[in-house]
Amino acid sequence: MKSRLLFTLLILFAANLQAQNVDQILEKYFEAMGGKSKLQNLKGIKMTAKVNQGGMEIPLEIVSLADGRQYTSFSVQGMTGWQNVYDGTSLWSTNFMTMKPEKSDAETTENFKLNIGDFPDPFLNYKAKGYKVELVGKETVDGSETFKLKLTRKPLSVDGKKEDNIAFYYIDTDNYVTLMVEQEIKSGQGKGMVTQTTMSDYQEVDGLLFPFSMAQGVKGMGSQPLVITKIELNPKVENKAFEFPSGN
Mean pLDDT of 49-73: 94
- Domain limits of the chain? 2-241
Residues 72 and 55: their CA atoms lie apart, in Å, by 21
CB within 8 Å of 240: residues ≥ 6 apart: none
> CB under 8 Å, gap of 24 or more: what pairs does 60-67 form?
60/226, 63/235, 63/237, 63/241, 64/119, 64/120, 65/119, 65/237, 66/42, 66/119, 66/120
pTM listed for this prediction: 0.89
Instruction: Please tell me whether residue 165 adopts helix, strand or coil conformation.
Output: strand
pLDDT in tens, 141-175: 999 999 999 999 999 999 999 999 999 999 999 99
pLDDT above 60 for 6: no
2-241 belongs to CATH 3.40.50.300: no
pLDDT in tens, 83-116: 999 999 999 999 988 889 999 999 999 999 999 9
